[in-house]
């Protein structure tokens, strides 16, 4: 996670000239970018910046820092102070076209937990840039997006396929886990290719991307599924003794109109019919920094969460690690039991309709979700016990904050009504969901 | 998953004596105990006497024998791996006892050597007692508990003998031993019972039908600190607990809810739905094993599953004659995992009946609700528990619905659900379950 980036926000000094800009033009919302000697375009720090002008005086905010400065001719000088009022940075620069850029000096924030008597770290030389926030459309738009390619690597290096604004609605489609029904090339390696990425205007690191799934509907009449237990789902004795039929037909007939999926008759399952509950196995933002993961992986950025309640009507909340968030989705299942115990659900391509929103400055450590009935936190990690702890902890922190509960109250609440779902047992990482019913939360006084 | 069966001759005298024989007519159903150096093994025996000749079955072994006065000689011939050998005994009252030589693998149960281990014939002692005869019609028994035991062990003396089909009306104290009237009994998740189920022998399964599980007083208590297994270490060390949050509850069964007795400002209107459950339901553990009542294992115990409620049937493997059923630790409501180490702990009125499923032993405890078939997986870690629960459920469903390994795999892949039942006790418990609606009509 890029906490180091937040911690490193500081102030910059120096003066450069702004050729043609009058001070009044600088008022408004900007995206601030600070790049230190070790940063790349993926690890730069981004902040929401607001500027107000009064004559040649500048005031405003840069992330959580207060901003003062001057604009004279084409030149700008900015000082930043931390929330306690301590000088944090000085920046100087000039305006080019409709952006400011320059150099400066930033005093690194103390490391969390550092002694108050520890020496102040030396300032860092930085470069900086202010670019105008993209102006949203007069009213939300609806796009029909037909994917031109599919990507199989979660990475900020994946070029956005489309820019959308909060409030926009997108009708699109995903291919199945193996890329079937792809009338377009695949980028990257591995299975579980995603549609997108969608660059969501206004989303910056530290924000939360809100994705509401409006419609998920199978667009082919068949789905494929494995018929062998994964080793994490059964005991070794069971796995060794199991005799699988190599010719077993795992191709389901899916009827979304009737809402059922039917397996071809086999001797023991002459008419296995399960309800269709179409879900997106993968939904993701770009992972932090320069991290890259294949499409089957999962983490704080989401990815292959494989939660069988990520269905139409569910809202997902992602921590944003890069400007635009870079939302992707894929790996739909017509239905799936908990844990994806054979390594697959009812794998199929689907039509997807979704809309997005951005919550400023409220990133949580991992992905969260909300259904009609539950608030949900995911815990993705290298083991089920750790996933349980991460999911419970994140849910506790979320509800403590939103409902102003103390540690005893949240413990009591969880002791009464917490539910767990084991969502993913068979992929590179494990996923456990912790959830509380909204009906019970509704009885709390905020 | 031990298959040890211990000596329970002390209880054999409790078996019903209604089958007193007349003269030498030994025909009928018996239960045999055959012991070598260790624990006795139990078999169901049928005898048919024709003059002085005798035929029948002992478990899966054929009996040919002779009766002369009080002298009874039996020859066992193995089928399907049952024991083989000779037994020579004497009829005394309603019991035939004596000694002999037996080889075999102990009836093929559990894959372990038993009597005459490894197929080598060895000396044994044996005893045959008449199989208990159930009452003409099931009885209704009001049982007032006086013994509250906090150790799962076959050494705990039965409090009541019941037959399959009998309905028992009783009650349990809370985990701390306090009953509906406020009387303090033995605490520590103490159980009532044990109930000796007539006719149950090791290798059977008992089905315990929870006919009624209702709170019987207006108060409950709950912990207010979150357990170390459920949150990160960082959360744990930074948590600041508030002593003003007491964890005392007022139960309002007429409204179907519980409310905090001394609510904090944020919880003035807070309520949770009542869903009364039994935290502990147990049989005596295998062999000489003993566990404190807060523990859990293949014998059940502190399973803490919040669907062990009125209407649920719990299937427990039988490790000792009579099974020795116990129960306790009622919760008015509980979230998954019992994350505050306790739920809404309170006393309960309980009605139950028991059915006996002969000769079917599952590795651990199973259950059935209106909607689901359920297998518990109790292990030393959550991943182990997941594997045990899934495997046990798969084995059960494969057998009952005659499915192949591929069929059960794809059935589970599309419909399996997990519940995390217990995170905070001596062992972990994860539940695997499949909806009965999907299985309906599949047999």
The Cα–Cα gap between A163 and A197 comes to 9
Q: Is B11 inside any structural domain?
A: no
- In this prediction, residue B361 carries a pLDDT of 80
| One domain for residues B118 and B152 | no
- In this prediction, residue B9 carries a pLDDT of 37
Q: Is B236 inside any structural domain?
A: no
CATH number of the domain at B21, please: 2.40.128.120
Which residue, of B84, B99, B130, is where some domain finishes? B130
CATH code reported for the domain at A3-132: 2.40.128.120
Q: Is B21 inside any structural domain?
A: yes
Q: Which CATH number fits domain A145-221+276-433: 2.60.120.580, 3.30.70.1230, 2.60.40.1220, 3.40.50.2000?
A: 2.60.120.580
Task: Classify residue A306 as left (phi > 0), alpha (psi -120 to 50) or beta.
Answer: left
Shortest CA gap B420–chain A (Å): 6
Q: Is B381 inside any structural domain?
A: yes
Chain-chain contact of B394 with A229 (C-beta, under 8 angstroms): yes
| One domain for residues B40 and B173 | no
Chain-chain contact of B339 with A342 (C-beta, under 8 angstroms): no
Where are the extended beta strands (E) located within A231-324? Answer: 251-255, 260-262, 273-275, 279-284, 293-294, 298-299, 302-303, 315-319
Could you report the per-residue pLDDT of B242-270, keeping only the tens digit for each? 988 999 999 999 999 999 999 999 999 99
- Nearest CB to A420: which of B243, B336, B390? B336
Could you report the per-residue pLDDT of B277-304, keeping only the tens digit for each? 999 999 999 999 999 999 999 999 999 9
Chain A residues with CB inside 8 Å of B387's CB?
232-235, 238
Cis before B301 (ω within 30): no
Residue A70 pairs in a beta bridge with A57, A77
User: In terms of CA atoms, which chain A residue is nearest residue B389?
Assistant: A234
The Cα–Cα gap between B420 and A285 comes to 29
| One domain for residues B182 and B55 | no
| One domain for residues B72 and B149 | no
Which pair of structure tokens corresponds to residue A148?
């031109």
CATH number of the domain at B397, please: 2.60.120.580
| One domain for residues B85 and B170 | no
- Nearest CB to A393: which of B224, B231, B404? B231
ipTM: 0.87
Q: Is B253 inside any structural domain?
A: no
| One domain for residues B165 and B114 | no
Q: Please give, one letter per residue, the 3-state secondary structure of chain B.
A: CCCCCCCCHHHHCCCCCCCCCCCCCCCEEEEEEEECCCCCEEEEEEEEEECCEEEEEECCEEEEEEEECCEEEEEEEECCCCCEEEEEEEEECCEEEEEEEEECCCCCCCCCCECEHHHCCEEEEEEEEECCCCCCCCCEEECCCCCEECEECCCCCCCEEECCCCEEEEEECCCCCECCCCCECCCCCCEEEEEEECCCCCCCEEEEEEEEEEECCCEEECCCCCCCCCCCHHHHHHCCCCCCCCCEEEEECCCCEEEECCCCHHHCCCCEECCCEEEEEECCCCCCCCEECCCEECCEECCCCCCCECCCEEEEECCCCCCCEEEEEEECCCCCECCCCCCCECCEEEEEEEEEECCCCCCCCEEECCCEEEEEEEECCHHHHHHHHHHHHHHHHHHHHCCCHHHHHHHHHHHCEEEEEECCCCCEEEEEEEEHHHHCCCC
| One domain for residues B98 and B172 | no
| One domain for residues B205 and B323 | yes
Residue B358 lies in domain: 145-219+273-439
| One domain for residues B164 and B68 | no
Residue by residue, pLDDT tens for chain A (446 residues) are 344 444 434 333 233 334 444 444 789 999 999 998 777 777 899 999 999 999 899 999 999 999 999 988 889 999 999 998 999 999 999 987 788 999 999 987 777 677 777 777 788 899 999 999 999 999 999 999 999 889 999 999 999 999 999 999 999 999 988 887 767 777 766 689 999 999 999 999 999 999 999 999 999 999 999 999 999 999 999 999 999 999 999 999 999 999 999 999 999 999 899 999 999 999 999 999 999 999 999 999 999 999 999 999 999 999 999 999 999 999 999 999 999 999 999 999 999 999 999 999 887 899 999 999 999 999 999 999 999 999 999 999 999 999 999 999 999 999 999 999 999 999 999 999 999 999 999 999 87
Q: How confident is the model at residue B110 (pLDDT cuts 50, 70, 90)?
A: very low
Q: How confident is the model at residue B114 (pLDDT cuts 50, 70, 90)?
A: very low
| One domain for residues B215 and B84 | no
Q: Is B230 inside any structural domain?
A: no
Which pair of structure tokens corresponds to residue B64?
């040919």
DSSP run (H or E) holding A385: helix A384-403
Q: Is B349 inside any structural domain?
A: yes
- Nearest CB to A336: which of B223, B344, B414? B414
| One domain for residues B180 and B105 | no
Q: Is B225 inside any structural domain?
A: no
- Nearest CB to B405: which of A244, A250, A336? A244
The residue of A395, A416, A430 whose CB has the most chain B CBs within 10 angstroms, and thus the best one to mutate to test that interface, is: A416
Q: Is the pLDDT of residue B435 over 50?
A: yes
- Nearest CB to B240: which of A232, A407, A421? A407
| One domain for residues B190 and B281 | yes
- In this prediction, residue A15 carries a pLDDT of 33
The Cα–Cα gap between B241 and B77 comes to 69
Shortest CA gap A395–chain B (Å): 10
What pTM was computed for the model? 0.89
Shortest CA gap B142–chain A (Å): 32
Chain-chain contact of B386 with A422 (C-beta, under 8 angstroms): yes
The Cα–Cα gap between A63 and A207 comes to 11
Percent of chain B with pLDDT over 90: 83
Which residue, of B130, B154, B188, is where some domain finishes? B130
Which residue, of B106, B130, B154, is where some domain finishes? B130
What is the domain partition of chain A in residue ranges? 3-132, 145-221+276-433
Chain-chain contact of B412 with A444 (C-beta, under 8 angstroms): no
Number of domains composing chain B: 2
Chain B residues with CB inside 8 Å of A270's CB?
442
Q: How far is CA A126 from CA A8, A119, A317, B67, in A?
A: 11, 21, 32, 104
């Amino acid at each position: 996670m890029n906490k180091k980036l937040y911690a490193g926000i500081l102030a910059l000094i120096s003066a450069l000239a702004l050729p043609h800009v009058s001070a009044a033009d600088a008022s408004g919302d900007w995206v601030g970018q600070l790049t230190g000697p070790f940063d790349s375009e993926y690890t730069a720090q981004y902040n929401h910046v607001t500027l107000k002008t009064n004559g040649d005086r500048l005031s405003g905010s840069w992330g959580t820092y207060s901003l003062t400065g001057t604009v004279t001719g084409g030149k700008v000088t900015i000082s930043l102070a931390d929330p306690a009022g301590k000088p944090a940075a000085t920046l100087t620069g000039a305006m080019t076209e409709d952006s400011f850029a320059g150099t400066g000096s930033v005093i690194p924030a103390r490391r969390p937990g550092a002694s108050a008597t520890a020496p102040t770290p030396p300032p860092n030389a930085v470069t900086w840039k202010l670019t105008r926030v993209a102006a949203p459309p007069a009213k939300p738009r609806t796009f029909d997006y037909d994917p031109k390619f599919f990507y199989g690597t979660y990475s900020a290096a994946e070029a956005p396929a489309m820019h959308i604004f909060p409030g926009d609605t997108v009708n699109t489609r995903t291919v199945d886990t193996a890329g079937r029904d792809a009338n377009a090339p695949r980028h990257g390696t591995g299975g579980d290719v995603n549609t997108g990425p969608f660059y969501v205007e206004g989303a910056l690191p530290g924000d939360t991307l809100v994705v509401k799934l409006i419609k998920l509907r199978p667009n082919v009449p068949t789905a494929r599924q494995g018929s062998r237990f994964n080793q994490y789902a059964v005991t070794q004795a069971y796995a060794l003794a199991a005799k699988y039929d190599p010719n077993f037909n795992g191709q389901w007939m899916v009827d979304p109109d009737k809402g059922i999926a039917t397996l071809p008759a086999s001797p023991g399952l002459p008419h296995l019919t399960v309800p269709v509950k179409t879900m997106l196995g993968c939904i993701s933002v770009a992972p932090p920094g320069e991290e890259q993961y294949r499409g089957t992986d999962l983490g704080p950025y989401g990815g292959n969460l494989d939660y069988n309640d990520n269905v139409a009507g569910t809202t997902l909340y992602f921590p944003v690690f890069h400007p635009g968030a870079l939302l992707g989705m894929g790996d739909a299942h017509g239905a799936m039991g908990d844990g994806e115990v054979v390594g697959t659900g009812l794998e199929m391509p689907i039509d997807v309709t979704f809309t997005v929103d951005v919550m400023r400055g409220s990133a949580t450590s991992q992905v969260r979700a909300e259904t009609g009935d539950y608030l949900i936190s995911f815990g993705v990690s290298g083991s089920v016990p750790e996933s349980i702890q991460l999911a419970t902890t994140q849910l506790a922190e979320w509800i403590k904050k939103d409902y102003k509960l103390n540690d005893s109250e949240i413990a009591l609440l969880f002791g009464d009504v917490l539910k767990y779902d084991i969502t993913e047992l068979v992929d590179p990482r494990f996923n456990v969901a912790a959830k509380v019913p909204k009906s019970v939360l509704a009885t709390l006084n905020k | 998953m031990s298959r040890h069966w211990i000596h329970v001759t002390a209880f054999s005298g409790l078996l019903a004596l209604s089958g007193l024989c007349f003269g030498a007519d030994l025909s009928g159903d018996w239960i045999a105990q055959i012991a070598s150096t260790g624990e006795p093994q139990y078999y169901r025996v049928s005898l048919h006497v024709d003059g002085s000749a005798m035929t029948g079955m002992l478990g899966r072994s054929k009996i040919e024998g002779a009766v002369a006065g009080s002298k009874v000689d039996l020859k066992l011939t193995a089928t399907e791996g049952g024991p083989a050998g000779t037994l020579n005994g004497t009829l005394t009252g309603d019991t035939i006892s004596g000694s002999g030589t037996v080889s075999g693998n102990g009836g093929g149960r559990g894959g372990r050597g038993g009597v005459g281990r490894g197929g080598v014939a060895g000396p044994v002692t044996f005893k045959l007692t008449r199989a208990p005869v159930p009452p003409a019609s099931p009885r209704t028994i009001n049982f007032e508990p006086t013994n509250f035991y906090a150790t799962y062990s076959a050494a705990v003396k039965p409090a009541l003998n019941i037959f399959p089909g009998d309905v028992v009306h009783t009650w349990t104290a809370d985990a701390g031993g306090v009953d509906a009237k406020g009387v303090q009994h033995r605490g520590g998740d103490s159980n009532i019972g044990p109930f000796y189920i007539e006719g149950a022998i090791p290798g059977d399964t008992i089905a315990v039908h929870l006919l009624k599980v209702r709170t019987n007083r207006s108060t409950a208590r709950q912990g207010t600190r979150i357990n170390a297994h459920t949150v990160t270490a960082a959360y744990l060390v930074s948590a600041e607990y508030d002593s003003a949050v007491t964890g005392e509850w007022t139960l309002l069964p007429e409204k179907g809810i519980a409310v905090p007795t001394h609510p904090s400002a944020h919880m003035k209107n807070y309520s949770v739905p009542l869903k009364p459950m039994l935290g502990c339901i147990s049989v005596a553990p295998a062999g000489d094993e003993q566990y404190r009542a807060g523990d859990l294992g293949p014998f059940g115990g502190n399973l803490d599953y919040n669907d062990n409620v009125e209407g649920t049937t719990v299937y427990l493997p039988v490790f000792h004659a009579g099974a020795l059923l116990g129960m306790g630790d009622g919760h008015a409501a509980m979230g998954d995992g019992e994350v505050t180490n306790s739920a809404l702990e309170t006393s309960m009125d309980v009605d139950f009946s028991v059915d006996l499923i002969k000769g079917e032993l599952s590795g651990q405890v199973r259950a059935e609700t209106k909607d689901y078939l359920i297998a518990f997986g109790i292990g030393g870690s959550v991943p182990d528990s997941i594997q045990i629960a899934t495997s046990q459920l798969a084995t059960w469903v494969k057998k009952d619905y005659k499915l192949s390994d591929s069929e059960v795999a794809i059935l589970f892949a599309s419909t399996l659900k997990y519940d995390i039942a217990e995170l905070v006790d001596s062992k972990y418990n994860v539940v695997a379950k499949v909806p009965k609606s999907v299985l309906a009509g599949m047999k």
